Amino acid sequence: MSRAQGGLGRLAGDTAVYGLADAVGKGLSLILFPIFTRIFTPREYGVMEVIGTVTLLISAVLVLGLDNATTRHYYGAENRSRGDVVLGSALAFSLTVYFGGTVPLLFASRWIAATVFGTDEYRRAMFVALFAVPFVLLVNFSLNTLRRVFRPWSFAGLSLAWLGLTISLNLLLVWRLRWGVEGTYYANLIAGTVMAGAGILCTRRHYRWAWDGRLIVSLLRYGIPLVPASLCLWGLSVMDRFFLVHYSTLTDVGLYSTANRLTSILAFGVGAFQMAWGPFAFAISDERHARTTYSRTLSYYMAAGGLAVLLLSLFAREALQVLTPPGYHRAAVAVAPLALAVLAYGAYTLVAIGVNLANRTSQVSITLAAAVVINLALNFLLIPRFGMVGAAYATAAGWAASAGFLFVASQRAYWIPYDGTLLSRMLALLLTCLGFGLIAGGDAEPSVSRVVLKGLAVIVFLVGLKMLGVVPTTVWVSLRPAREAP
């Protein structure tokens, strides 16, 4: 059995570990969700969302595309014997950029807060949030290193320790001591500082502490073209918050954040798969069956992801009734388009393998820029009239466009035999069942009859997947981990 075929077992296994870690993590973070919604008003929740949006933008710039560049160079044939030099040089350069880039922002934190909110009321929260950025990025660097060297259990341990410490500090500072919005950012700063040190200790044997100038230049040549892509990703993910602040209210931002928090249940599964997918896809790229494996993986992803979208979208109101007070329940109307956006984001990551293998990373920025233009236009058109619901549909359209544009570009750069007919039929089936379930459920309070109708929509989707033959019996055999011959 080839590495590409037998490796599907490893991909499934690593995805399960990453998924388990993220599932436990999201489960623990949900502890904060009902607590925060009872401590903070939707407006305060909106403030936290906007500050988080600013720090995400800064992080996207400071990374300089070196996360993807380091992975690509680590698995490159020319670096097979010196992977520790690749990781060590990337770490040394990243540390310089992370801390050097954050210092001037700390001095400008009052101005940043005043520009974003129209007042400097939240300047201290902005300062602490910015202070935490380099430490958070350093923890992420260590986690990415563990993925590159195929240590999923160590990854799970480090990520869960980080999350556990963050949650504990939030419970202490926000819930117990009532430090308010600032307390969440002090918790992030303390946890980030501690876990940055722990991450370096955990991964230290994989680094050769070096400064390879040629290698760093090569990393930057690969990574810098991805910076516009990172900014576009940021724009597609969170730019709508600024439109909501301007055209609506911080309360709407808070409700929109609540809908996003609920869809994070779906995002954790997509994220776990992405963490396993990157190293796996690059590692098998020279295998004869690699292209077939890439094609099959996209079909399986759409089937599993579509089911998750359906379940989350149709039962969002029931979930919010359990997790939040009544003031947050109307966030349910934004869940379905946001769930579709998460599905499209995962598909975008999968189809990007073509341009990555062909070293045409500039195509990522070009296609994402086109998707951002669509998203911007829809934000202008929809948010003033429909508020957070308009923002959700603009986000879904933007991510769908990004996946579609990148699919075309990747196929031109590195052709993969995707089954377009099967993919289009699955998408049509998903949208049909989703539309039926949402119409049947309505916007009223849940009832037994409405729950039954929504459950029927899920059953129809599953039967449809079976009839399409999306996951034949032979797949389960191929997904089993390969065993060494005796």
Query: What are the φ/ψ torsions at residue 446 (nearest 5 degrees)?
Result: -60, 145
Mean pLDDT across 293-309: 91
**What is the predicted pLDDT for the residue at 20?**
55
Contacts of 282 (CB under 8 A, 6+ apart): 71, 72, 75, 356, 357
Please give the residue that has the higher pLDDT: either 397 or 277: 397
Q: Are 96 and 21 in contact (CB under 8 A)?
A: no
Mean pLDDT across 260-289: 80
pLDDT band at 112 (very low <50, low <70, confident <90, very high): very high
**What is the predicted pLDDT for the residue at 477?**
42
**What is the predicted pLDDT for the residue at 9?**
55
N- to C-terminal Cα separation, the chain: 15
Least confidently predicted of 25-39, 289-303, 330-344: 25-39
Question: Which tokens hold the place of 111?
Answer: 């101005």
For the chain, the maximum distance between any two Cα atoms, rounded to a whole number of angstroms, is: 70
HSE of 214, CA atoms in CB hemisphere, 13 A: 2
Question: Which tokens hold the place of 229?
Answer: 């892509």
Integer Cα distance of 390 and 375 in angstroms: 11
**What is the predicted pLDDT for the residue at 206?**
87
**What is the predicted pLDDT for the residue at 4?**
45
**What is the predicted pLDDT for the residue at 83?**
75
pLDDT band at 116 (very low <50, low <70, confident <90, very high): confident
* Whether residue 279 has pLDDT greater than 80: no
Residue 102 amino acid letter: T
pLDDT band at 250 (very low <50, low <70, confident <90, very high): confident
Percent of the chain's residues with pLDDT above 90? 35
**What is the predicted pLDDT for the residue at 190?**
96
Q: Is 144 exposed, middle or buried (0-12, 13-18, 19+ CB in 10 A)?
A: buried
Least confidently predicted of 6-10, 44-48, 107-111, 396-400: 6-10
Digit-coded pLDDT (tens) for 339-390: 999 999 999 889 988 888 887 877 777 888 888 999 999 999 999 999 999 9
* Whether residue 16 has pLDDT greater than 80: no
- State the angle between helix axes of 250-283 and 388-413 in degrees (0 to 180), rounded to the nearest 10: 20
Tell me, what DSSP letter sits at residue 479? T
pLDDT band at 261 (very low <50, low <70, confident <90, very high): confident
Q: Are 241 and 374 in contact (CB under 8 A)?
A: no
Integer Cα distance of 331 and 323 in angstroms: 12
pLDDT band at 480 (very low <50, low <70, confident <90, very high): very low
Please give the residue that has the higher pLDDT: either 11 or 31: 31
The string of DSSP codes covering 215-251 is HHHHHHHHHGGGHHHHHHHHHHHHTHHHHHHHHS-HH
The residue count for the chain? 486
**What is the predicted pLDDT for the residue at 268?**
75
Q: Are 181 and 122 in contact (CB under 8 A)?
A: yes
Nearest residue to 66 via CA among 137, 150, 152: 137
Integer Cα distance of 472 and 461 in angstroms: 16
pLDDT band at 53 (very low <50, low <70, confident <90, very high): confident
Q: Are 109 and 127 in contact (CB under 8 A)?
A: yes
Radius of gyration of the chain (CA): 22
Nearest residue to 475 via CA among 309, 302, 300: 300
pLDDT band at 486 (very low <50, low <70, confident <90, very high): very low
Please give the residue that has the higher pLDDT: either 226 or 263: 263
Integer Cα distance of 453 and 35 in angstroms: 32
Nearest residue to 314 via CA among 216, 213, 414, 458: 458
Mean pLDDT of the chain: 84
Mean pLDDT across 419-443: 89
**What is the predicted pLDDT for the residue at 104?**
95
Digit-coded pLDDT (tens) for 224-248: 877 877 787 788 778 888 888 888 8
Integer Cα distance of 449 and 453 in angstroms: 6
Helices (H), 172-331: 181-203, 213-223, 227-238, 240-247, 250-283, 290-314, 316-323
* Residue showing tokens 């929509």: 457
Tell me, what DSSP letter sits at residue 173? I
**What is the predicted pLDDT for the residue at 476?**
39
Integer Cα distance of 354 and 42 in angstroms: 42
HSE of 385, CA atoms in CB hemisphere, 13 A: 8
pLDDT band at 147 (very low <50, low <70, confident <90, very high): confident
**What is the predicted pLDDT for the residue at 316?**
92
* Whether residue 15 has pLDDT greater than 70: no
